[in-house]
Amino acid sequence: MERWQNKVAVITGASSGIGAAIAKEFVMAGLKVVGLARRTHLMENHKMDLPSEKRSQFIAMYCDVSNPKSINDAFDLIIAQFGGVDVLVNNAGCGQADQLSTMNLDDAQKIVNTNIMGVVYCTQRAFKSMKDRHFDGHVILINSIAGHQFFPGVPLKLPAANIYSPTKFAITALTELYRQEFSGLGTKIKISSISPGVVDTDILLKDLREAAGDCMLQPEDVSKAVLFMLATPPHVQIHDMIIKPMGEVV
Catalytic residues: 164
Spell out the residues 6+ positions from residue 236 whose beta carbon is closer than 8 angstroms to its own.
none
Angle between helices 164-184 and 105-112 (to 10 degrees): 30
Per the CB < 8 A criterion, the answer to whether 211 and 160 are in contact is no
Q: Is 177 strand, coil or helix?
A: helix
Distances in whole angstroms, Cα of residue 189 to Cα of each of 125, 127, 128, 136, 197 = 13, 8, 11, 5, 27
Going by C-alpha positions, the residue among 3, 196, 117 that lies closest to residue 108 is: 117
